[in-house]
Amino acid sequence: MEQVIAAWLSDFGAPALFALLALGVVGLPLPDDALLALAGVLIGQGRLHPVTAAAAAIGGAMTGITVSYGLGRFAGLPLLLRYGSRLHVDTAVVTRVGTWFDRAGKWLLTGGYFIPGVRHVTAIVAGASKLPVGTFMAFAYAGAVLWVSCFLTIGYVLGDEWRGLVADLHRHLLVACLVVAAMAGGYTYLKARRR
């Protein structure tokens, strides 16, 4: 898959980077992190222009996450309200998630880019919970800039050695997410017992 992506990026340049990244962030099974690192490698080799590639990547990430937010806002909430009872999700749960997202979940829009799978879901949940558009844009777009900058730099600096660092990064992020989830679960359990 990496060879195919590298060939597309070499042949079609920034438009391919924009389109692939937008589709990947929406949820198509594309290796987004590898795509960005490969683009960084091609920038280092002089096969992609750095400013054009960075602008295309940031634009693609922002477009993809905005489409996901729109899907959540205009399709996700009505579907949840209509069919949520089958999944034991009622309006009270939707309201609680919306309150949590407004208070703390918006930070997941920024950091979620770095966690494969999470970046695809956070915007949909943000849209379904009716997070205000301005808040969504501030946190999601800042995350897009950070994520794109980080992985383009990894590819540019490390060249073909980027794979090891990205694998280590994913492993450490997965462990961190599991620890945070366990702590949140424990906190929720203790809070429920006190009631």
State the average pLDDT for the chain: 80
Asked whether residue 58 is domain-assigned, the answer is: yes
In a domain, 176, yes or no: no
Within a domain: residue 98? yes
pLDDT digits (tens, 9 = 90+) for 154-163: 889 887 776 6
User: Is 87 a residue whose pLDDT tops 60?
Assistant: no
Residue 44 lies in a domain: yes
Task: Please identify which residue in the block is written with the tokens 């992506």.
Answer: 5
Please compute Rg for the chain using Cα positions. Answer: 18
Structural domain boundaries enclosing 102: 2-162
86 falls within a domain: yes
In a domain, 185, yes or no: no
Which among 101, 89, 90, 88 is positioned nearest to 130, based on CA atoms? 101
The Cα–Cα gap between 81 and 71 comes to 15
* Exposed/middle/buried for residue 120 (C-beta within 10 Å: 0-12, 13-18, 19+): buried
**Residue 195 included in any domain:** no
What percent of the chain stands above pLDDT 90?
28
pLDDT digits (tens, 9 = 90+) for 125-151: 888 888 889 999 999 999 999 999 998
pTM (global) more than 0.85: no
Number of domains into which the chain is organized: 1
Return the pLDDT at 157: 87
Instruction: Report if residue 28 sits inside a domain.
Output: yes
